[in-house]
Structures are given as structure tokens and as C-alpha cells.
Amino acid sequence: MIDQGLRAVLAGIPVGLQLGATGTGGAILGFPLMVYLVGIPVQQAAAMSLMIVATSSMFGAWEYGRQGLVRAKAAAAFSWTGAIGSWGGAFGHRVVREEVLLLLFGLLLLSVRIVMMRRGSVSSEAGREETCATQFPRTCWLKVGGIGLAVGIMNGLFGVGGGFMVVPALILFLGFPNRSAVGTSLSIIALISIGGVVGHLQFGSVNWPLTAYALLGSLTGMVLGVRLGAWLPATVMGRVTASITVMIAVSLIVINLAKLFGLQG
């Protein structure tokens, strides 16, 4: 059997790769991989996933920032409520049964995919909010504060970055170009995740050696992902992300429904 540390490195690589290329979905992979590949409890998996996503996102945001693709005002607007929601989500994570958390996570992923499928039909709305991508007036601060709170709660509850919600919101409702949305999303994820990390450290324990191994893999994947994102068309990366998301969602729903109904040990 492969050593658990090596499995943690292998679990971290696709997390960073996905985050670097698309600005979304790192923890969509990280959370279940920590549970089923590395073999750690759900509560520790959420905490580790969040730490890995936060650190990798900081690194990716720096890479995109060097290219002028990070909008600081948008990142701050999302993050001030997001960090609060993330702390609260981390607290809620401690009191929910593992199978229920994983089932809800799968349902969440499917819901996000349905929203993303509607992206083309609502993309015309982005043009009416172009000032949010450039000047970011007061109305934009108020609008994204609520979105940030919702993303933060899911961030802490499931150990996910929330980029699968942030990137569509930036593109569809705030008029961001795709690459700027990815770079800004990484900044937002990093900032929001701080609250969740604090919450998980306060309410539970973390396997630090395995976290370090997974982070090593994630940072390696992040470097590759940033360069891959600049090379591959956004539509191609979107299809890959969609396929991975649906497969993981269906697997989580089936496996954990079976456990809840006593069909699987």
C-alpha cells in the first residue's frame, strides 16, 4: 500500500492544478480525496483541505497579481463577510454527522453545476455591471457582501474555497473578464479561508505532517495550473471542471445515501 504521506502529496497535486488553472474547484477535489484517498476523518479532512486551499490560493493570487489580474477592492468586498461566515461554518461542521456532510456536499456540487449550465443564458447581465470590474462603487460593496457571507459559510462547513461560486459571480454579475475573475477569486478564497482555518483550529485538531505533504503537492500543482490556465482556452477548462464536479457529486451522493440507509458498512 502506498505510504499515507505519499498519498497526501498525490491528493494535493490535483487541488493546486485545478485552482491554478480555473480559480475554482480545488477543494471540490481536496475534501473527498483527503477522506477516501488519504484515509482521514471528515472533520480533519475539512480542516486540512481548507488550509491547503488557503495557502495555495495565496500563492496563485500572487502569480496572477504579477500579471495585473487581481482586483483588490472586489477581493476585500467579498472577504469581510466571508471570513465571518467561514468561522461560523467551521463551528457548524463539528455538530453534523459525517455522512450527512458528504451528502450535502455532493448535492451542493450538483446545484452549482446547474447554475453554471445557465451561464450562457444570463451572461448578458454582466454588461450592465461593468463598473464593478473597474471602479467598484458602493453599490458593488453591498451586493457582494451577501454573496461573500454565503461562500464563507460553505467554506468553513465543507472545507471548500468557494471559488465555484465566486468566479461565476464575478463574471456573470460584476462583469469581470475571465482571467481577472480567476485571479481575484484566488485572492478572495485565501482571505475568506482565514476565518475557517481559525475556526477549525479552535474547534478541532489537525494532522500537521499530512497537511504539509498535501500542501507540497498542491503548490506543485498550482504552479502547473497557472501556466496551464494561460495556455488552454477557458471553454476547455470549463468542460473538464464540469465533468470532474459531476462525477464527484454523484459518487458522494450514492456512497453516503447507501451509508445512511444501512446499505453499506
- Are the CB atoms for 252 and 103 separated by under 8 Å? yes
Q: Which residue did the predictor score with more confidence, 25 or 94?
A: 94
**Is the pLDDT assigned to residue 18 strictly greater than 50?**
yes
**Is the pLDDT assigned to residue 64 strictly greater than 80?**
yes
Q: What is the pTM of this model?
A: 0.67
**Quick one: average pLDDT of 223-235?**
74
Q: Looking at residue 256, what is its pLDDT? A: 86
Cell 481559525 sits at which residue? 198
Residues 41-58 have pLDDT tens digits of 877 787 787 788 788 778
Residues 109-159 have pLDDT tens digits of 787 777 666 654 444 444 444 566 666 777 777 777 777 888 788 777 776
Q: Which residue did the predictor score with more confidence, 213 or 245?
A: 213
Quick check: helix, strand or coil at residue 136?
coil
Alpha-carbon dihedral sign for residues 147, 55, 22, 72: positive
Burial of 202 (0-12, 13-18, 19+ CB in 10 A): exposed
